[in-house]
Structure 1
Amino acid sequence: MKKIMITGALGQIGSELTTMLRSKYGENNVIATDIREDESGSLGNGPFEVLDVTDAGQMHEIAKKYQADTIMHLAALLSAKAENNPQLAWNLNMGGLVNALEVARDLNTQFFTPSSIGAFGPSTPKENTPQDTIQRPTTMYGVNKVSGELLCDYYFQRFGVDTRGVRFPGLISYVTKPGGGTTDYAVEVYYEALKNGKYTSYIGEGTHMDMMYMPDAVNAIVQLMEADASKLEHRNAFNVSAMSAAPEDFEKAIQKHIPEFKMDYDVDPVRQKIAESWPNAIDSSAAKDEWGFDPKYDIHKMTEDMLQQLKVRV
């Protein structure tokens, strides 16, 4: 990777990935794009372009202008928002992905886009979910993610595009606020713990989902993109996770630092249904075997860092 173009650079993953890649490869070698301006200057210095990923011509023009050799396509509508507007989700998530893959094919670039544990469904094994298993999601977001995995496989097999991707679990970050995902409660809880000493979870007690701290997530992306292509058997859909946690696990972890913190529940039936359709804990052994995936943060180390970082932000 020498010239990296990122779509959705102002989103949850993109904001931290852009900053990390610029520190690693040089500010001018990472081209950040998003549908809105970086008014806050959160991405720092380096090239920035406003891009609507449904505009194939504009995407091609920007990638060619900067001579991108790698495209990281992150722009997407997340799970809860996608369920509220499924047609928009299909048009944005799939239309944008096809456009990005076509640019990668035409300009012969390396390509990354994330999938999700949302690609699984109620009939998927809940515990130790295998790398290769049944995928019959019941949400539009999940349908998009399964379709995306297959599409990336197709572009690799049919056109030789060097496509790569992971199935991310819920991602937890102190840099950007939640953006419409089912696992957003795991970010909100830290803000509310510091601000109010309490939190009302929209996900029910005992609902386990896989999670990962954002530093581990962005490191996984870079590690996968730098991996030896000959060792990648799965390419576009590696299971990755650092922890499996339910809301009460976050409560207990936070109470070690804020003993008076309390959590109660007001379950949102839409997001709860989505959560219950996902695995409780997935098997990440293929990612470990094929490219050395090795997360550093468990729930306790993550909680300590989240609270320290947010103290100066809340």
Structure 2
Amino acid sequence: MKKIMVTGALGQIGSELVAKLRAEYGSNNVLATDIRVSDNREEGPFERLDVTDADNMHALAKDFGADTMMHMAALLSATAEKNPLFAWNLNMGGLMNALEVSRELDLQFFTPSSIGAFGPSTPKQGTPQDTLQRPTTMYGVNKVAGELLCDYYFHKFGLDTRGVRFPGLISYVAHPGGGTTDYAVDIYYKALQEGKYTSYIAEGTYMDMMYMPDALQAIVDLMEADPSKLVHRNAFNVTAMSFEPSQIAAAIRKQIPTFEIDYDVDPERQAIADSWPDAIDATAAVEEWGFKVDYDLDKMTADMLEKLQLKLKA
């Protein structure tokens, strides 16, 4: 990767991914694009882009001289359920445009999938890399279709497509963006601001999670991996930890002993969470490109609270 174009650059992952890529590859070598306008355009090149506009996407990538496309633009799980038709048009239309532009310009390609690609019939414990995928959400349907579409472009056109299935991602930089796992971000804000949190996810509901620094490093490591060693390419299971709400509350109490948690379950988001695995198996990612993580729940919690405290004071 030398010249990287990122779509959805102001989103939950994209905003931090762009900063990491610019630190590693040079600010002028990373073109950030989003349908919204950036307030920090002085940090590197930025262009407004609606990913459903294929012609503009092609023109921006070509003019920038991109050799890599990282397609991060998507509507997340809970938000997508509120407007499934719009979610399909944005998530699948945008992905198709990004793949076509990458094929036409011979770009290396990355897009993330998600644990949302699994469904209630998927094995919940030690979820295999290759397993039954019958999701019950529009977001999940989009992700399964996207995995297959990226595989198709690799086999049909030889496009160097790569991707991971992200678990819930936890970050102190971006605010929650409409995902089912976002309680695991909001709980830290409420711990510092109010000393208590009301969870919309029920006690005992396990979900896979990962701290954002590990997620970003996973993207870079996969994109820099030897392609001859990649068997799966487009949907590697990755995870760092699996926990339920009372466990993250217990981790917070190690830092804030008076912290309290209670529950007011949201049936819609709870149903989505119940359809996902409790803990997935990332063996394929470890074996094929050396996937690893640095943060467990306690280490992540300490860092989140420290960084958020500084952010909230500022």
TM-score range, shorter chain: over 0.9
| Residues 19, 44 of structure 1: 8 Å contact kept | no
Give 1:310's aligned residue: 308
Give 1:9's aligned residue: 9
SS in 1 for 2:13: helix
Question: How far is the alpha carbon of 1:44 from its aligned partner?
Answer: 5.3
Give 2:31's aligned residue: 31
> Does 1:95 pair with 2:93?
yes
Distance in 2 of aligned mates of 1:313 and 1:72: 28
Which amino acid is 2:67 matched to? D
Give 1:173's aligned residue: 171
Give 2:149's aligned residue: 151
Distance in 2 of aligned mates of 1:182 and 1:61: 35
Which amino acid is 1:238 matched to? F
Give 2:18's aligned residue: 18
Question: How far is the alpha carbon of 1:45 from its aligned partner?
Answer: 1.3
Pair 44,206 (structure 1): closer, same or farther in 2 beyond 3 Å: farther
SS in 1 for 2:303: helix
Aligned with 2:197 (options 184, 196, 199): 199
Distance in 2 of aligned mates of 1:45 and 1:190: 28
> Does 1:290 pair with 2:288?
yes
Aligned with 2:264 (options 257, 260, 266): 266
Q: What are the Cα deviations for residues 37-81 of structure 1, in whole angstroms up to 9, with x where unaligned?
A: 112x2x751100000000000000000010100000000000000
SS in 2 for 1:270: helix
Give 1:221's aligned residue: 219
Q: What are the Cα deviations for residues 107-147 of structure 1, in whole angstroms up to 9, with x where unaligned?
A: 00000000000000000000000000000000000000000
Scaled by the length of structure 1, the TM-score of the pair is: 0.99
Q: What are the Cα deviations for residues 223-243 of structure 1, in whole angstroms up to 9, with x where unaligned?
A: 000000000000000000000
SS in 1 for 2:220: helix
Distance in 2 of aligned mates of 1:114 and 1:208: 22
Q: How does 1:30-109 map to 2 (within 5 A)?
A: 30-39=30-39, 41=40, 45-109=43-107
Q: Which runs of 4+ in 1 moved over 2 A?
A: none
Pair 135,44 (structure 1): closer, same or farther in 2 beyond 3 Å: farther
Distance in 2 of aligned mates of 1:76 and 1:212: 19
Which amino acid is 1:226 matched to? E
Question: How far is the alpha carbon of 1:24 from its aligned partner?
Answer: 0.4
Pair 169,44 (structure 1): closer, same or farther in 2 beyond 3 Å: farther
Scaled by the length of structure 2, the TM-score of the pair is: 0.99
Provide the aligned length of Structure 1 versus Structure 2. 312
Q: How does 1:112-127 map to 2 (within 5 A)?
A: 112-127=110-125
Structure 1's unaligned 5+ residue stretches are none
Question: How far is the alpha carbon of 1:312 from its aligned partner?
Answer: 1.4
SS in 2 for 1:96: helix
Distance in 2 of aligned mates of 1:210 and 1:3: 32
Structure 2's unaligned 5+ residue stretches are none
Which amino acid is 1:291 matched to? W
Which amino acid is 1:131 matched to? Q
Distance in 2 of aligned mates of 1:35 and 1:117: 25
| Residues 4, 72 of structure 1: 8 Å contact kept | yes
Give the RMSD, CA atoms, in angstroms: 0.6
Q: How many percent identity over aligned positions? A: 72
Give 1:248's aligned residue: 246
